[in-house]
Amino acid sequence: MTGRNFTRRRLGQTALAGAALLGAPLPLRDAFAQGGPANLKVGLLLPTSGLQAQIGQACKRGADVANEVFTDMKLPVKLDIVNYDTETKPDVARTQAEKAIDAGCHMLVGAFDSGQTIAIAQVCEQRGVPLVVNIAAAPQITEQGYKFVVRNFPTAPMLITGALALHKEIFKVSGKTPKTAVLMSVNDTFGTSMINGIKALFPKLDMPYELVDTISYDVAAKDLSVEVAKAKATKAELLLPVSRLNDAKLLVQEMVKQRWEPMGVLNPGAPGLYEQDFLKTMGKYGEFMISNVPWLDPKSAMTTALEKRHAAKYPNDQLDLNGGFTFEGILIAAQAWLAAKSTKPGDLMEALRKIKIDQHVMVGGPIQFDAKGQNVNIKATAVENLKRKPTVVLPLESAAAPLVFPMPPWNDKRRT
């Protein structure tokens, strides 16, 4: 076809053919989606691409094995889970939520990030479709008076308060209490928000140690030698890192290099230290570091079933709190449907308000929501890296191994 022969009519025909070709996935997709059993259809909205892709995919893996775990647990339910990618953008999250509801989803679960979750919550509120928030910590999500939103994740103040309260528990159980601590934090939005939260709550919690310094560093830092030297110079007995993954690795490498051996490294609710990549890369130097985050309850039969199914389907990926909370999001949808015996949004929402799920996977009391839609029974845990695995050591009733604190020196033979 030459440019000379390319007429307006030809363009019209080509455009029509192109539109038909490109539009084909829409009915195709619906056909796939409707191919499953006629039961509860759940739209799972997660950032599986973009900046938060890694975490979004970890969340999705938890949901991917949900139906199999339900079968193992003799839960008489099979959900039709349809995945939607928010691309780590609130505007995309909003259009994807509209799309999911238009495609017939009875409930939505998502979306890891507060901005994206709020964008979805507004659509759910306007369309009257229940949203189960798997992970998002902004307190405003359950303070806005939404009628169709419930959250099964602690708010940011709950996370920090829970983490700092566990510090006291760690000192009590180990019988060793540090007198000073230094806070090291990545200077991105998350780090800044955590630092501000910790500083605001610290005086109210009557902590046994004094915060001697706060050292911030750039999220893209390639070398933390100066920052670690500065922290070491404070002679603080405890390091509280608010880190992401890569800077957590840099931080520990530099601590080993500079032979800085504080009494412990206690992460007050941030990612990094418990992540699979950190454990693999840091080897024996990643051992005995403690993260104070919500975690999977090793004493729960459902956790065992989830871990088994997850390991079978994703042998190279660690099941962490992202997968755990997303699985619970799907579990909540399933239990609401079982209780409501209906897919009508109003009935499902009514069931969600009254729900009480005793058997679940994360550490804490039964899943139930207060008048604002917040689950207040989630407990913080102390997860210690033991034998290259994040292991619950506190609270004692959920502990899978005894706490090791203070942290053994870098060359201690307990590090293997």
Give whichever of 51 and 229 is closer to other proteins, judged by the CB atom.
51
Q: How far is the CB of 221 from other proteins (least distance, A)?
A: 16
Give whichever of 92 and 150 is closer to other proteins, judged by the CB atom.
92
Give whichever of 95 and 253 is closer to other proteins, judged by the CB atom.
95
Regarding 80 and contact with other proteins (CB under 8 A), the answer is: no
> Where do we find the tokens 């973009």?
50
Per-residue tokens: 243: 């880190």
Pick the piece of the chain touching other proteins (CB under 8 A) from 84-92, 207-215, 388-396, 400-408: 84-92
Per-residue tokens: 85: 């990618």
Give whichever of 37 and 145 is closer to other proteins, judged by the CB atom.
145
Rounded CA separation 362/92 (Å): 29
x/- string (CB under 8 A) for other proteins, residues 107-126?
A: -------xx--xx-xx--xx
Q: How far is the CB of 148 from other proteins (least distance, A)?
A: 10
Question: Which position among 1, 2, 8, 204 is part of the footprint of other proteins (CB under 8 A)?
Answer: 8
Rounded CA separation 107/127 (Å): 11
Q: How far is the CB of 107 from other proteins (least distance, A)?
A: 17
Regarding 317 and contact with other proteins (CB under 8 A), the answer is: no
Question: Which position among 78, 127, 168, 353 is part of the footprint of other proteins (CB under 8 A)?
Answer: 127
Question: Which position among 80, 85, 227, 384 is part of the footprint of other proteins (CB under 8 A)?
Answer: 85
Question: Which position among 39, 49, 177, 281 is part of the footprint of other proteins (CB under 8 A)?
Answer: 49
Go through the chain and tell me how many residues it has. Answer: 416
Q: Could you please report the per-residue DSSP string of 321-352?
A: HHHHHHHHHHHHHHHHHHHHTS--HHHHHHHH
Please, which of residues 149-208 interact with other proteins by CB under 8 A? 156, 188-190, 192-193, 196
Torsion, Cα of 246, 250, 252, 253 (10° steps)? 130
Question: Which position among 146, 153, 288, 295 is part of the footprint of other proteins (CB under 8 A)?
Answer: 146
CA distances from 168 to 179, 210, 265 (A): 12, 13, 14
Regarding 95 and contact with other proteins (CB under 8 A), the answer is: yes
Contacts of 229 (CB under 8 A, 6+ apart): 258
Q: Are strands 180-186 and 131-133 parallel, antiparallel or unpaired?
A: unpaired
Bridge partner list, 82: 43
Give whichever of 125 and 169 is closer to other proteins, judged by the CB atom.
125
Phi/psi zone of residue 303: left (φ > 0), alpha (ψ -120 to 50 degrees), beta? alpha
Pick the piece of the chain touching other proteins (CB under 8 A) from 70-78, 91-99, 312-320, 407-415: 91-99
- Give the strands of the sheet with 149-151, arranged side by side: 80-85, 41-46, 107-110, 131-133, 149-151
Decide: residue 347, CB within 10 A, 0-12 exposed, 13-18 middle, 19+ buried: middle
Q: How far is the CB of 303 from other proteins (least distance, A)?
A: 26
Q: How far is the CB of 256 from other proteins (least distance, A)?
A: 31
Torsion, Cα of 286, 287, 289, 293 (10° steps)? 90
Q: Could you please report the per-residue DSSP string of 117-171?
A: HHHHHHHHHHHT--EEESS---GGGGTS--SSEEE-S--HHHHHHHHHHHHHHHH
Contact status, residue 220 vs residue 243, Cβ threshold 8 Å: no
Give whichever of 114 and 385 is closer to other proteins, judged by the CB atom.
114
Give whichever of 32 and 356 is closer to other proteins, judged by the CB atom.
32
CA distances from 305 to 52, 59, 153, 327, 359 (A): 27, 17, 21, 12, 12
Q: How far is the CB of 136 from other proteins (least distance, A)?
A: 11
Residue count, binding to other proteins (CB under 8 A): 52
Question: Which position among 29, 199, 257, 299 is part of the footprint of other proteins (CB under 8 A)?
Answer: 29
**Residue 413 burial (CB count, 10 A):** 7
Question: Which position among 14, 16, 17, 28 is part of the footprint of other proteins (CB under 8 A)?
Answer: 28
Interacting residues with other proteins (CB under 8 A): 6, 8, 11, 22-23, 25-26, 28-29, 32, 48-50, 53, 56-57, 83-85, 87, 90-92, 94-96, 98-99, 101-102, 114-115, 118-119, 121-122, 125-127, 138, 140, 144-147, 156, 188-190, 192-193, 196
